[in-house]
C-alpha cells in the first residue's frame, strides 16, 4: 500500500492535471471516429457493454477517482514553480519502456517542458512518422490560429430575386443537426410568407468545397464524403460520434430533409431539390441570406474534434483554414494551408506532410518534435486562442478516446493526469499530449510507433510511457 505522502502527491497532481480540463473533460460521445476498428474491438472484448457505453463493468469498487475539475483558472501560472524533473531521470525511465516490443521496430519520442519549451528527452524526435489521429492536434492549432476561437461556420438560405427558388448554401458545418435545420426552415418559411410566396423550388449549393469528396481510403464508416453541406456528418443511424453507416450523398440528403421541413412549416416545395449555385448580389458577392444558422464557436468544435477524435470535424477544420488562407477548400488546399499556418507560428514543419486533416491517410507525416511544439504553443500564456487544444484533449480514464484506458497496471497512475490525443491505424499507434508531474511540472509529450504488431500491446506500452512521466 502506498505511503500517505505518495497518496498526497498523487491526489494533488490529479487535481492539478484535471484543472486543465476547462470544462471539456465530460465531452459527449461513446465512441470517436478516430478510434479505429481495432480499438473498438478491444473495448468490446474487455467490457460487456460492447463499446456502446464506457461505464466500467460491475465489480469490486476500487479507490475512488477524483472528479474532473470544472475550470483551469490560474493553472498554468501555478505551474511556474521550481521543479526537480531532470532530463537524466527521464532518460533512465523512458529508455527501457520505449524498448517494449509492443511498440514495434519504429518508435520516436519527444518530451518537452511546456512552460519553457526545453526538450527534456528525445529519441528520433525530428523524424517524420505516420501520425494517425494525432494530426488532429495540428488541424486544430491551425484553425484556431487562422480564424480565432470565436469563429462560427454558417449554413444559409438565399432566395432568387423573384423568391420562387431558395438555395440552401453549405458553409462546411458537419455538426448541422435536424433541430437547427428545422429552425432554418421555419425562418425561411416566415420570410417567404412575408414576401407573399407560398411555393418554391429548393436548390442546394456545395461549391465552397473543391476536389474529390471521398477520402482516399474510399467508402469507410469512419468518415462521410467530405461536403460543404451535410446533416449530422452524414450519419444514418442517429448517432453523434463513432463508427456509423454514412450517406453516399450528404448534401442531397440534407437538402431533401430541408425541403420536408419547409413543407411542414407551411411552404409548398415544387419538385425535388437539385444542385445549383446561390444567386449573387449586384456586386457579384453572395446575396444577403433569407435565413442563417451557425455552428458552435470554433473553440467548442476543436474540443469536440480532439475529445471524440472526430474525423468529419477535423476535415472541416482543415478546410476552414484553407478558406482563411485563400487556398482551395480541398484535401490538397487544406494540407498546404495547415502547413503554412503552422510554419507561421514558428513550428518545425520541415519533412511534415498533410494529406488530410483527420489522420486517416497513411501518407501524412509529422515528427514527435512538431507535436510537442504544437502542444507547447497551446500552453503559451500569450496565445490564449490556442487553449482549446489543451482543454479538448481526452483525460486518461475519464473521457473521449482515453476513457477506457489507464485503468490497470503501471498505467493506472496516469488516470486523471494524462491528457492526450490517441492515434491508431493498422500497424501505427501514437499518443501525444500533456501530463502534470508529481513536482507540478507541465510536460508535453509525443510517442509515435510504426509497424506495431498489435494495438493490444502497443496501446498499453504507450500508456505506460505517459504514466511514467507522472513519476
Q: What is the per-residue DSSP string for 393-412? A: SPBTTTSGGGTTSS-SGGGG
Phi, psi (rounded to 5 degrees) for 201: -100, 150
Report the DSSP beta bridge partners of residue 310: none
Instruction: Go through 184-199 and write b for each residue having 16 or more CB atoms within 10 A of its CB, e for each that does not.
Output: bbbbbbebbeeeebee
How many Cα atoms occupy the beta-carbon half-sphere of 184 within 13 Å?
Answer: 29
So what's the pLDDT on residue 306?
A: 98
**Residue 249: how many other CB atoms lie within 10 Å:** 15
Residues 139 and 185 both lie in one domain: no
pLDDT category of residue 83 using cuts at 50, 70 and 90: low
CB 355 within 8 A of CB 331: yes
pLDDT (0 to 100) of residue 131: 98
Q: What is the pLDDT of residue 227?
A: 98
Q: What is the DSSP letter of 249?
A: -
Using an 8 Å Cβ cutoff, are 170 and 204 in contact? yes
Number of domains in the chain: 2
Share of the chain above pLDDT 70, in %: 81
Q: Domain containing 179 — which CATH number? A: 3.50.80.20
Phi, psi (rounded to 5 degrees) for 324: -65, -30
206 located within any domain: yes
pLDDT for the residue numbered 84: 57
As a whole number of angstroms, the longest Cα–Cα distance in the chain is: 79
Own/partner pairs, 47-52, CB within 8 angstroms, 24+ separation: 47/404
Same domain, 96 and 120: yes
Q: Residue 229 and residue 174: Cα distance in Å, rounded?
A: 7
Catalytic residues: 133, 136, 309
Residues 361, 466 within the same domain: yes
144 shares its domain with 165: no
- Co-location of 16 and 39 in the same domain: yes
**Helix axis angle, 311-324 to 298-308, nearest 10°:** 140
Does some domain include residue 314?
no
Final residue before a domain boundary, out of 278, 295, 312: 295
SS3 helix, strand, coil % of the chain, rounded to 5?
Answer: 40, 15, 45
Domain boundary among 295, 315, 336: 295
Distance (Å, whole) CA 64 – CA 113: 30
Q: Provide the pLDDT confidence category of residue 10 given band limits of 50, 70 and 90.
A: very low
Looking at the fold, whether 281 and 360 belong to one and the same domain comes out as no
**Do 89 and 212 fall within a single domain?**
no
Identify whether the C-beta of residue 24 lies closer than 8 Å to the C-beta of residue 301.
no
Specify whether the CB–CB gap between 268 and 289 falls below 8 A: no
- Closest Cα partner for 375 from 352, 362, 392? 392
The whole-angstrom separation of Cα 400 and Cα 27 is 7
Range of the domain at 436: 4-148+300-304+348-470
DSSP track, 315-358: HHHHHHHHHHTT--SSHHHHHHHHHHHHHHTT---TT-B-S-SS
Assess if residue 315 is contained within a domain: no
Mean pLDDT computed over every residue of the chain: 85
Classify residue 339: in a domain, yes or no: no
> Are 67 and 85 members of one domain?
yes
What CATH number is associated with residue 66? 3.40.710.10
Upper half-sphere CA count for residue 116 (Cβ side, 13 Å): 10
Residue the block writes with cell 500569450? 382
Rounded to two decimals, what is the model's pTM?
Answer: 0.84
Predicted confidence (pLDDT) per residue in 378-413, tens digit: 999 999 999 999 999 999 999 999 999 999 888 999
Per-residue confidence band for 438, with pLDDT thresholds at 50, 70 and 90: confident
Could you report the per-residue pLDDT of 284-314, keeping only the tens digit for each? 677 889 999 999 999 999 999 999 999 999 9
Answer with the one of 295, 312, 337 that is the final residue of a domain: 295
Residue 172's pLDDT band (boundaries 50, 70, 90)?
A: very high
Q: Same structural domain for residues 271 and 374?
A: no
Distances (CA, A) of 259 to 158, 187, 203, 424: 14, 13, 9, 39
Q: Tens of pLDDT along 15-44? A: 444 443 333 333 323 223 333 343 333 333
120 and 204 housed in the same domain: no
Q: How much is the pLDDT for 440?
A: 87
Q: Quick check: 78 pLDDT over 80?
A: no
Tens-place pLDDT, residues 243-252: 999 999 999 9
The answer to whether 226 and 313 have CB atoms below 8 angstroms apart is no
Residue 332 lies in a domain: no
276, 203 contact by CB (below 8 A): yes
Residue 343's pLDDT is 98
281: which 3 cell numbers?
Answer: 448580389
In this predicted structure, the answer to whether residue 72 has a pLDDT above a threshold of 70 is no
The long-range contacts involving 43-52, CB below 8 angstroms and separated by at least 24 positions, are 43/404, 46/404, 47/404
Element (H, E) at 14: helix 4-19
Residue 217's alpha-carbon distances to 73, 220, 251, 363, in angstroms, are 42, 7, 20, 11
Across residues 237-247, what is the average pLDDT? 93
User: Quick one: 287 and 187 in the same domain?
Assistant: yes
Contact 448, 430 (CB under 8 A): yes
Q: Does 312 fall in a domain? A: no
Residue 253, C-alpha cell as written in the block: 440528403
319 is a domain residue? no
330-354 pLDDT, tens digit per residue, is 999 999 999 999 999 999 999 999 9
193 and 89 fall within a common domain: no
Backbone angles phi, psi at 433, to 5 degrees: 180, -150
Question: To which H or E segment does residue 205 belong?
Answer: strand 199-205
Q: Does residue 331 sit within a domain?
A: no
Amino acid at each position: 500500500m502506498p505511503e500517505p505522502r505518495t497518496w498526497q502527491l498523487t491526489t494533488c497532481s490529479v487535481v492539478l492535471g484535471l484543472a486543465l480540463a476547462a470544462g471539456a473533460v465530460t465531452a459527449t460521445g461513446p465512441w470517436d471516429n478516430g478510434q479505429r476498428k481495432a480499438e473498438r474491438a478491444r473495448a468490446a472484448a474487455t467490457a460487456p457493454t460492447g463499446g456502446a457505453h464506457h461505464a466500467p463493468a460491475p465489480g469490486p469498487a476500487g479507490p475512488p477517482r477524483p472528479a474532473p475539475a470544472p475550470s483551469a483558472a490560474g493553472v498554468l501560472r501555478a505551474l511556474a514553480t521550481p521543479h526537480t524533473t531532470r532530463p537524466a531521470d527521464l532518460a533512465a525511465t523512458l529508455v527501457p519502456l520505449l524498448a517494449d516490443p509492443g511498440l514495434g521496430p519504429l518508435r520516436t519520442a519527444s518530451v518537452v517542458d511546456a512552460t519553457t519549451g526545453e526538450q527534456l528527452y528525445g529519441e528520433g524526435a525530428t523524424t517524420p512518422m505516420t501520425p494517425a489521429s494525432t494530426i488532429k492536434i495540428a488541424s486544430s492549432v491551425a484553425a484556431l490560429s487562422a480564424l480565432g476561437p470565436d469563429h462560427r461556420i454558417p449554413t444559409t438560405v438565399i432566395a432568387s430575386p423573384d423568391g420562387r427558388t431558395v438555395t440552401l448554401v453549405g458553409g462546411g458545418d458537419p455538426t448541422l443537426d435536424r433541430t437547427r435545420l428545422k429552425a432554418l426552415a421555419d425562418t425561411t418559411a416566415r420570410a417567404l410568407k412575408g414576401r407573399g410566396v407560398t411555393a418554391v423550388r429548393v436548390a442546394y449549393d456545395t461549391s465552397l468545397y473543391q476536389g474529390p469528396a471521398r477520402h482516399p481510403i474510399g467508402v469507410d464508416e469512419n468518415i462521410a464524403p467530405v461536403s460543404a453541406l451535410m446533416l449530422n456528418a452524414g450519419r444514418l443511424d442517429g448517432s453523434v460520434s463513432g463508427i456509423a453507416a454514412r450517406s453516399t450523398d450528404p448534401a442531397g440528403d440534407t437538402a431533401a430533409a430541408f425541403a420536408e421541413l419547409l413543407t411542414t412549416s407551411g411552404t409548398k416545395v415544387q419538385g425535388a431539390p437539385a444542385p445549383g449555385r446561390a444567386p449573387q448580389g449586384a456586386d457579384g458577392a453572395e446575396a444577403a441570406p433569407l435565413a442563417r444558422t451557425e455552428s458552435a464557436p470554433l473553440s467548442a468544435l476543436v474540443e469536440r474534434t480532439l475529445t471524440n477524435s472526430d474525423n468529419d470535424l477535423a476535415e472541416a477544420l482543415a478546410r476552414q483554414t484553407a478558406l482563411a488562407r485563400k487556398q482551395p477548400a480541398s484535401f490538397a488546399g487544406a494540407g498546404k494551408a495547415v502547413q503554412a499556418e503552422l510554419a507561421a507560428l514558428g513550428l518545425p514543419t520541415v519533412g511534415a506532410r498533410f494529406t488530410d486533416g483527420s489522420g486517416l491517410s497513411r501518407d501524412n507525416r509529422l515528427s514527435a518534435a512538431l507535436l510537442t511544439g504544437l502542444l507547447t504553443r497551446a500552453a503559451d500564456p500569450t496565445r490564449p486562442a490556442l487553449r482549446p487544444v489543451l482543454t479538448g484533449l481526452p483525460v486518461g480514464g475519464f473521457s473521449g478516446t482515453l476513457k477506457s484506458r489507464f485503468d490497470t497496471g503501471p498505467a493506472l497512475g496516469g488516470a486523471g493526469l494524462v491528457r492526450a490525443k490517441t492515434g491508431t491505424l493498422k500497424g501505427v499507434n501514437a499518443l501525444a499530449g500533456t501530463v502534470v508531474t508529481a513536482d507540478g511540472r507541465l510536460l508535453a509529450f509525443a510517442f509515435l510507433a510504426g509497424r506495431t504488431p498489435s494495438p493490444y500491446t502497443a496501446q498499453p506500452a504507450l500508456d505506460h510511457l505517459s504514466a511514467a512521466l507522472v513519476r
